Structure 1
Amino acid sequence: MEAYSKPKPENWTGRKSDQKLYLHQKVQLLNLKKASLENIQESDIVFLGYACDEGVKRNQGRTGAHAGPNAIRIQLGKQPEHLSETLNIFDAGNIECSDGDLKKSQDILAKTVQKLLARNSFPILLGGGHDIAYAHYKGIQEHLNAKGEKKTIGIINFDAHFDLRSDENGANSGTPFYQIAKECSADHTVFKYLCLGIRKDANSKILFETAEEHEVTIVENEHFSMHYLAHNLKHLQHFIKAVDVLYTTIDLDGFSSAYAPGVSAPSPMGFAPDIVLEVLKIIIDSNKLISLDIAELNPSFDVDNQTAKLAAGLIHFIMHRLDYSNQD
């Protein structure tokens, strides 16, 4: 497989325990070049990295996000786990973009996501730039098309930015949802996009106009907090009701730099983790969530691995909530 690196055991280390109390002891390495996917069972969780910041570079951001997936793994492996014994966790390695060919890497990522979903597993993708979103969505779409299912995909994006920039001059980390909207229009399919945490100081007037044109549901950052929890849940529940499946993407640069300094576009004006966790509960408990990613970790600018730990903490929460929901 081109543009692929196998999972590395050194990314999964931590305390030793005879009872296998830590995540690094539960994760199984899955080399997609050699191993089949037959061992993956329904609801198993599969980590897949997107070691790419070509899109960030094209979008004039701070490069370094290609190292994000492994930085998340290192912090996640140290954490204790409380998961069902029957739940398998796999690390399927990284899709890379070392030659600047963004489209090729996105195509490979989309095909891999499709294969993972065909096994009824739950992929958690680790970025990498937010151009991961276009490829991830395409993989979900191709999976549903292969099954002959005409389902409406709802996109929920935790982010300061719309990422609705035009791709007229090529795709980048700021164009994924514009690309999706454009293709939905061409295919006469519904574009359902909810963006949580949008900031006026992070998006131009044109981007707000583009969002309105494509009927994007917006919760601006000034209202995306625990103080407005009821308001946020109302928007969320209405959105979830209108779609068949959910794809969720978490851009770490939406968080305040007090929590996430290690991103491509940091700002102290972002949101806090508590509201994100509350919203994730509703998303997961809807039983409509099909796949999820975390994007834009840039270890080159992280402080004491704080942003990597935030990403790992979010994934830890998501994994355990998924496991809890599957037991009901």
Structure 2
Amino acid sequence: MHTYSKTDSLLWTGRKSGQKFYLHEKVVFVDLNTDKFPSINTPAWAILGYACDEGVKRNEGRIGAALGPDAIRKQLAKLPNHLTENVLLLDTGTVDCKDGDLKKTQTVLSRTVAQLLKQNAFPILLGGGHDIAYGHYNGIKKYLATEGNNKSIGIINFDAHFDLRSNQTNNNSGTPFYQIAQDCKLDQSNFRYMCFGIREDANSRILYDIAKDLGVQYVEKTNFNLLHFNEIKDKITQFTKEVDYIYTTIDLDGFSSAYAPGVSAASPMGFSPEIVLECLKIIIASKKLISLDLAEMNPTYDIDHQTAKLAASLVHFVIHQSQ
């Protein structure tokens, strides 16, 4: 089965202004298989879907995340456009997983992310299970290698889970950062990974042990709020100083189900959007953010498109905050 498809333009609809007041009037569709990629000499955001829940299935989660990218697109399309005229907003299609071949899908994702970065576009990936992270990270790594760039990548993950499960049985949505850590050992590079929102009721003792062994920095959900913002700010600032690039991944199941019911592993005990927005401001201000994804969007369990709207608003915030 194919692993890439162009986006259906009918997903991007909303109020019509005729003056690009809304993002659906701003977006340009690109088929990476056939279209000539536009020449980019100005800021460009490249939306890329990851329609895959095979990793969630293997991790015994709720199926439906493969429908996530298009659900987010529909909500993003309706939002107002405050981007300047010279900024490009591209929808570059979706990497699909229709035959259960997770490894192949992640390989295609990796190659596609590297392609976008080489074209001077900033990738914003919409998932899909959190196994998106392994393919995404490797795409950044591949791009830096082809550019002859040996600079370091730091990962910042907003999530209830470490996603450091061993992949001895199989690769899944709970193993991506463990896989990255093992790859770092093989190529003798530093594994730089920081998590915000970790919950004790969502991670076993062994996962805490693995995090400790791998030198993972984290802030538990009990302290991941605006009351502790100064400490959080210091941690992010220090982390960004120690690496050359930041890859940020937002697992929507880290949010309380009051904000994000439509995820693979919902819980009312998660964090709020406000603290994530404040953290994103710091990351963006560092000028080191190289790529972003949102994972675990599951419209099957969403209520009034609430989770899709949250995801769309997060994307909207990032592309406008970065101007």
Which position in structure 2 is the counterpart of 1:239? 239
Superposition pairs for residues 27-46 of structure 1, below 5 Å? 27-46=27-46
Q: Shift of residue 42 of structure 1?
A: 4.5
Q: Shift of residue 32 of structure 1?
A: 1.4
2:132 matches 1:96 = no
Structural RMSD (CA): 0.9
2:286 matches 1:286 = yes
Which position in structure 2 is the counterpart of 1:260? 260
Unaligned runs of 5+ in 1: 324-328
Partner secondary structure for residue 193 of structure 2: strand
Which position in structure 1 is the counterpart of 2:61? 61
Give the AA of the match of 2:45.
Answer: I
Which position in structure 2 is the counterpart of 1:79? 79
Give the AA of the match of 1:192.
Answer: R
1:109-137 deviation digits (Å, cap 9, x = unpaired): 00000010011210000000000000000
Q: Shift of residue 36 of structure 1?
A: 2.2
Partner secondary structure for residue 19 of structure 1: coil
Q: Shift of residue 39 of structure 1?
A: 3.1
Superposition pairs for residues 142-161 of structure 1, below 5 Å? 142-161=142-161
- Of 54-63 and 232-241, deviating more is 232-241
Superposition pairs for residues 295-310 of structure 1, below 5 Å? 295-310=295-310
TM-score under structure 2 length normalisation: 0.99
1:267-291 deviation digits (Å, cap 9, x = unpaired): 0000000000000000011100000
Which position in structure 1 is the counterpart of 2:117? 117
| Aligned positions, number | 323
Query: Distance in 1 between the 2:42 and 2:144 partners?
Result: 16
Query: Distance in 2 between the 1:98 and 1:55 partners?
Result: 12
Q: Shift of residue 18 of structure 1?
A: 2.2
Which position in structure 2 is the counterpart of 1:168? 168
Q: Shift of residue 41 of structure 1?
A: 3.9
Query: Distance in 1 between the 2:69 and 2:10 partners?
Result: 13
Which position in structure 2 is the counterpart of 1:326? none
Query: Distance in 1 between the 2:54 and 2:138 partners?
Result: 19
Partner secondary structure for residue 218 of structure 2: strand
Which position in structure 2 is the counterpart of 1:202? 202
| Alpha-carbon contact 2:2-2:98 (below 8 Å) kept | no
Query: Distance in 2 between the 1:297 and 1:92 partners?
Result: 19
TM-score under structure 1 length normalisation: 0.97
| Alpha-carbon contact 1:256-1:270 (below 8 Å) kept | yes
| Alpha-carbon contact 2:42-2:88 (below 8 Å) kept | no
Which position in structure 2 is the counterpart of 1:16? 16
Query: Distance in 2 between the 1:121 and 1:5 partners?
Result: 19
| Alpha-carbon contact 1:163-1:178 (below 8 Å) kept | yes
- Of 174-183 and 10-19, deviating more is 10-19
Query: Distance in 2 between the 1:18 and 1:51 partners?
Result: 31
Q: Shift of residue 94 of structure 1?
A: 0.6
1:197-243 deviation digits (Å, cap 9, x = unpaired): 00000000000000000000010000000111001111111111100
Partner secondary structure for residue 129 of structure 2: coil
Query: Distance in 2 between the 1:81 and 1:231 partners?
Result: 34
| Alpha-carbon contact 1:128-1:297 (below 8 Å) kept | yes
Query: Distance in 2 between the 1:181 and 1:202 partners?
Result: 21
